[in-house]
Amino acid sequence: MSLNPHRKFWRTIGFRLTFWYFTLFILSSAFLFVLTYFLLSSRLRTQDHQTIEIKLNELKAVYKMDGFEALKREVDVDKKFGKSNPYFIRIAGPQGKTLFLILPYQWVKFHLKSLENIKPGEGTTWTYLPLEDHGNELEIASISLSGDFFLQVGKSNEERNRVLQHFRQIFMFITAPLVLLGFAGGALVAFRALRPVRSLIQIVRAIDLGEMNAHVPRSYTGDELDELVTLFNRMLRRIASLIKGMKDSLENVAHDLRTPLTRLRTTAEMALQDKPTAASLKEALSDCLEESELILRMLNTLMDISEAETGTINLERKSVSVSSLINQVVDIYAYIAEEKNIRVQTQFPEDLHFSVDPNRIRQVLANLLDNAIKFTPDGGSVELEAEKRDNRVLFTINDTGCGIHHDDLPHIWDRLYRSDRSRSEKGLGLGLSLVKAIVMAHEGSVDVTSEPGKGSKFVISLPAEK
């Protein structure tokens, strides 16, 4: 059954496979027939010729030993007792004149005259005279006797032709159903083998019509088509998850931006409602500017998170040293830490390198260090350490800050989540979401332990080699 009604039947792979299989089968059968027929027919012919030659030599030996009369006697004896296996025997004298002739009645209708012109040479000379029945021939071997005499012994090839005809009939009898069976078998095999391809076409059609959750049923045979189906299904799942991710991201971004945008609009409306003075308008404008900057920052961060979460982020991996990353991040926060009188200590091996997107991992470390300093009271301390363990690079950020309440702990990685206790601090509630999304995109993992009032410990684990 063709899935595309416009596709010609003979254009289908199934038909072409069957056709080639069938053609190959016919050709092999024909080759087998020709070869076997040729071998069999030449073998039978050699056998017939050998029989005739044995008879010829036998009679020649008799002639040599006891002369012409003994030869005639021998032939007469043959004539009497050898009816079941008749031979044509002729003894010719000078000028080819027939002196003696045994001609079995079955073969009488041939031109005996043509035999008179034969002059055998040194060895055996073969002559083939057509008989009038069904294209058979009389095969005659001639040999010289002493003087001008010569002896001819022959036999019809009728028996041989009968065997060969029988062979042809048997071959046809066996081959004809075999060919039909081969054709039907080939068509069935091609049809079954192409079943996954037909399913694939059907599913692609369904996807084309908007059915994004469709998948191709597997055959579990472990063959190439089964592998193709598995890969195809995996690709479908990936596409579906990307589309879902994009849809979710769009909804999240729209939802997350609604509040600051409403705030922006309210600020502008309020400024216009009351009798506006130049000073109040200026203040409102400055609030709007601040709000729009916040929205822009949020939008950028939300887009980054979405990209990292859906796997569409473009990571520019390169080999970087852990020490340079840590030093750069610590430098950025040195001033703020100093202002709060917070001691930032670092510890890391100098020669540790790994393959990551340096800008993104710098963003991760900066967010964690920013939080650690932000949530640690004046005079506290923050430790930023890195080490290599089991083919992974571990970053640990320890602080002696306020810690995270165990109710908040499961939510801190959520978008826009900010614990009530941290509302006094600046922030969007997006930092840790971005950290997690970037680390996951690098095939890493994040972990946090915290004791309220004592401090927090964030651990980032990233693959050392990629």
Q: Interface with ligand ADP by CB under 6 A: which residues?
A: 367, 371-372, 375, 399, 401-404, 408, 412, 417-419, 422, 427-433, 456
Nearer to ligand ADP, 261 or 428 (CB): 428
Q: By the 8 A CB rule, do 325 and 298 touch?
A: no
Cα–Cα distance for residue pair 356/462, rounded to 1 Å = 9
Nearer to ligand ADP, 91 or 460 (CB): 460
Structure tokens of 152?
């001819």
Nearer to ligand ADP, 52 or 435 (CB): 435
Cα–Cα distance for residue pair 214/202, rounded to 1 Å = 10
Tell me how far, at minimum, the Cβ of 395 lies from ligand ADP, in Å: 14
Tell me how far, at minimum, the Cβ of 426 lies from ligand ADP, in Å: 7
Tell me how far, at minimum, the Cβ of 423 lies from ligand ADP, in Å: 8
Cα–Cα distance for residue pair 79/416, rounded to 1 Å = 121
Q: What's the distance, CA 164 to chain centroid?
A: 49
Tell me how far, at minimum, the Cβ of 360 lies from ligand ADP, in Å: 16
Q: By the 8 A CB rule, do 360 and 301 touch?
A: no
Nearer to ligand ADP, 436 or 442 (CB): 436
Cα–Cα distance for residue pair 235/48, rounded to 1 Å = 72
Q: Which residue is nearest to ligand ADP (CB)?
A: 427
Residues 6+ apart with CB under 8 A from 459: 394, 395, 396, 397, 446, 447, 448
Tell me how far, at minimum, the Cβ of 341 lies from ligand ADP, in Å: 17
Q: By the 8 A CB rule, do 87 and 138 touch?
A: no
Nearer to ligand ADP, 60 or 418 (CB): 418
Residues 6+ apart with CB under 8 A from 392: 444, 461, 462, 463, 464
Tell me how far, at minimum, the Cβ of 1 lies from ligand ADP, in Å: 57
Nearer to ligand ADP, 59 or 372 (CB): 372
